[in-house]
Amino acid sequence: MGITGVGKSYFIREVTGYSEVNVSGGLYSSTIRVQPYSFEYLGERITLVDTPGFNDTNRTDTEVLKEIADWTSKTYKKNQLLSGIIYLHPITHTRMEGSAMRNLRMFQKLCGQQVLENVLLTTTQWSNVNPAEGQAREDGLRDEGLWGGLISKGATLQRFYGTRESGLELINVLVSRTRKPLHIQDQIVKQRMTLLETDAGRFLNEELAAQEKALKERLVSLESRFQEAMGTVGTVGCGLKSLMEEQAKSQKKLEMAEAGMKLLAACSGGKIARSENESRK
């Protein structure tokens, strides 16, 4: 798991040797569905599961969460549990940005504390950074407000150097671990919660509501600046064009946030309807 473009598909392609695994070359996700890939290793059948990343340009975070929740729920009902989770983060990032922080919080809500012993917090892209700088950034990730809290509860800090050998070392760490259900699997399957009722769903809904509020305020501000610029004699055309582009981007983000909230609400509709029918009976 990890944010869009972090290298999840690349990791799977290198470790499994499957050239058909589609790897994105930029910020756009190449993975739109949860996809398992199985291969033989040391006499055992290993399955790596590629997941779509949050903060995708063309998909709402709700769509991504629903895709992950649906797949994990189906496998849990078949008593298929994960031995571990490899959470990827590029060491090239000089700091943990807002989207990466939100993704980390979502990851925590999905997994819960019971499975942290099976979590490998893994830095990637070491070939693109000076080793000393990389070490300093890795040390920074140990901060309590970043990965430190997870590490203190059982998660392990690891590195992926971009090779099959390096990836298999991570696999070796996890294969003997006791398989445990994710928190969201327990909430949806055992506790029969809707997606919106889960910790991950509630967290996402709160984030989307905050985004909606901020984006509406942003659009009001941009419109005010646009009108002011229109009334200014000698306004440079490129300035107006820049404002219009900012408006379009903010409007698209607002529409995606609103669509995500509607989808979350729709995911709980079936349970509400069932409850009403049961009450009438």
What residue segments make up the domains of the chain, in order of their start? 8-190, 195-280
Measured between alpha carbons, how far is residue 121 from residues 11, 45, 148, 204 in Å?
14, 23, 10, 22
42's enclosing H/E stretch is: none
Residue range 143-157: mean pLDDT, rounded: 92
pLDDT of 96: 76
Give the lowest-confidence range in 239-243, 254-258, 262-266.
Answer: 239-243
Residue 158's pLDDT band, with cuts at 50, 70 and 90, is very high
**What whole-number distance in Å separates Cα of residue 22 and Cα of residue 20?**
6
Structure tokens at 7: 């290298």
For residues 256 and 215, the answer to whether their CB atoms sit within 8 Å is: no
pLDDT of residue 27: 47
Distance CA 45, CA 40 (A): 5
Domain covering 8-190 assigned CATH 3.40.50.2020 in the classification: no
pLDDT at 94 over 90: no
Going by C-beta distance under 8 Å and a sequence separation of 6 or more, which residues neighbour residue 107? 1, 87
The answer, yes or no, to whether residue 15 has pLDDT greater than 70, is yes
| HSE value, Cβ hemisphere, 13 Å, CA-based, for 264 | 25
- Residue 88 — very low, low, confident or very high, per pLDDT cuts 50/70/90? very high
- Residue 128 has a pLDDT of 93
pLDDT band of 26, cuts 50, 70, 90: low
Alpha helix (H) residue ranges in 53-97 = 61-77
pLDDT score, position 232: 66
